[in-house]
Amino acid sequence: MTQALVVTGPGELGVQDVTLRPMGDADVRVDIAGVGVCHSDLSMVDGTLRPTYPQVLGHEASGVVVEAGSDAGLPVGRHVVLNWAVPCDACWHCDHAEPWLCSTIEARTGTPSGTLADGTTFEACLGLGAMAEQVVVPATAVVPLPDHVPLAESALLGCAILTGVGAARNAARVQPGDSVLVIGLGGVGLSAVTGARLAGADPIIAVDVSDSKEGLARTAGATDFLVASSDLARDVRALTHGRGADRALECVGSATTIRQAWTATRRGGTCVIVGLGRKDQEVAFNPLELFHFSRTLVSSIYGNSDARRDIEGLLAYVADGRLDLAATITDRIRLADVPAAFERMRRGEGGRSLVTFPTNDHQERS
């Protein structure tokens, strides 16, 4: 039995004892050291997405391999970060260097991963279900970590940091000296600011509805901070020689902020949709502006990353001190506190909440 955070329906969640599925030859059993509370987890609860229930939440996690199948190719004791976007290396997208669009990734979410106490089968969020003391996952869904990297905090490499830094580098293709606008400063948005800094952007204009995010934004690398307002595009032009931002990254996923990011992008610039939005909203563009402004509008999924390759690159930044894994973590909590973390997220408060497990002492050893 392992304790896990189970969603049984929209808005219905709680900690339960669950039984994980049996190990296969290519699987690993991982004691979870840290698991981040991501906005996509909230999307599984609040009706934005309609997953199959019951479901164990959690997809941004790190831990220690405690059991390995005969074909897993990983030793017991190895520190790992979980990867929810495992490419198949066989589909059209994988074959065309777009592993983040692999056609098997979304299908994998529907895999039964164990049973609740009453025998009901549950599914695992994004194939991982990592808001649990322990998971059983394919060995292909973990990326090894060096032992000296802080283990619990490394959880963020599996979603927020890979997504945010990747959005700036791979999707927006930020170049040294570019002006970059980031709207929405949750875990992913703050990591997009970090990605802009690592790419040499200047200025980096960070925007949020709450002025309480200014300190976190500046720590991540923002040169300017603005509270969201209807005059946002004018304020951004004032900081970018009247042109607008070379690259704008929208990390909210709402029609209003997508439209604001678009309007604040310069002629010929790039606007990247990073936020996961709802399908019952619409964004309007008029034909003349689409022609005149000559902007590019793209989305960024998982930072357009191949986790196996890009986590290694991020670890190099951790090693040379340019990437602080803990910089966006504002709340260290227990599994039962996740509903309260969702409430903070709804109110726009704080950065990342990180769940640790008193029963798994690995994070204390790291």
Residue 232 CB partners (closer than 8 Å, separation 6+): 183, 207, 226, 260, 263, 264
Provide the binding-site residues for Zn ion, judged by CB under 5 A.
38, 40, 87-88, 91, 94, 102, 159
Please identify, using beta-carbon distances, which residue of 56 and 232 lies nearer to Zn ion: 56
User: At its nearest, how many Å lie between Zn ion and the CB of residue 167?
Assistant: 12
Closest CA to 102 of 347, 287, 308: 308
Assess contact for 302 and 277: CB atoms under 8 A: no
Looking at the Cβ atoms of 187 and 244, the one nearer to Zn ion is 187
Contact 126, 49 (CB under 8 A): no
Whichever of 91 and 149 has its CB closer to Zn ion, that residue is: 91
- Smallest gap, in angstroms, from Cβ of residue 112 to Zn ion? 22
Give the nearer residue to Zn ion in terms of CB position, either 263 or 328.
Answer: 328
Least gap, CB of 126 to Zn ion (angstroms): 8
Annotate 307-329 with DSSP letters as a single string. Answer: HHHHHHHHHHHHHTTS--TTTTE
Give me the least distance between CB of 220 and Zn ion, in Å please: 17
- Give residue 251's Cα distance to chain centre: 11
Three-state secondary structure of 127-184: HCCCCECEEEEEHHHEEECCCCCCCHHHHHHHCHHHHHHHHHHHHCCCCCCCCEEEEC
Name the minimum Å distance from CB 159 to Zn ion: 3
Closest approach, Cβ 206 to Zn ion, in A, equals 20
Nearer to Zn ion, 102 or 196 (CB): 102
Q: Which is nearer to Zn ion, 89 or 211 (CB)?
A: 89
Alpha carbons 196 and 175: distance in angstroms, whole number: 8
Using only C-alpha atoms, the chain has a radius of gyration, in whole angstroms, of 20
